[in-house]
Chain A
């Protein structure tokens, strides 16, 4: 079964609003990553947070990690139409080589 699960499955917001999505995982991890996928394209890396970090920022992105709850959140501030995409979290379990993805959150930003 997949390691990470995103919530919600889909999200629709107005341009300028913030978008928040969550990821829960099952086993201890080394890192958690977030990726974006535009329709019909490959995945693009957004941000990586290590297990000893609690929060990380990159431009309009803010990621938090709570290892005690085995969960992470991705916040996109001041959303734009170009943020319309699917967002996936990915984890590499401690002691494992595999990079496992969740089912993703589809975000639609309305103009």
Chain B
């Protein structure tokens, strides 16, 4: 049972380049999240999804887009990377008992992105 898998694990981008981070989960979870983690700031929510075909903005959505075409996959896109997007990105998924009633979230191992 793989849980939550993120690809790639590391990436270096030049300013202005684009890329897509892939998150895959095999637990049939409805909810999926993308966070970024910067030193001293904990995890900040970028976008999230409560089901296939749905996405919503989190705290820091600017500069990112997401898609959830299949229940098991949640993609995070950077259209034009900026140095401020240098961070560690985490994907998570969880089962829900209902609106706003989450259960434990399972996290991927993270993607370390550097934008130069």
A92 partner, pick from B58, B92, B102, beta carbons under 8 A: B102
Given the interface pairs A2-B42, A101-B43, A103-B42, the reply to whether A41 lies near B99 with Cβ below 8 Å is: no
B74 within 8 A of A: no
For the complex, would chain B's binding face be called helix, strand, loop or mixed by DSSP majority? strand
B116 within 8 A of A: no
Chain A contacts with B in 62-105, Cβ cutoff 8 A: 88, 90, 92-104
Q: Is the CB of B103 within 8 A of A48?
A: yes
A18 within 8 A of B: no
Considering only CB atoms and an 8 Å cut-off, how many residues of chain A contact the other chain?
Answer: 28
A57 within 8 A of B: no
How far is A57 from B101 in the complex, measured between Cα atoms in Å? 20
Q: Is the CB of B100 within 8 A of A93?
A: yes
How far is A11 from B9 in the complex, measured between Cα atoms in Å? 30
Give me 21 A-to-B residue pairs in the complex whose CB atoms sit less than 8 angstroms apart, sorted by A's number.
A30-B101, A33-B105, A42-B109, A43-B92, A43-B107, A44-B107, A45-B106, A88-B43, A90-B105, A92-B102, A97-B48, A97-B50, A97-B96, A97-B100, A98-B58, A99-B31, A99-B92, A99-B102, A99-B105, A101-B44, A104-B42
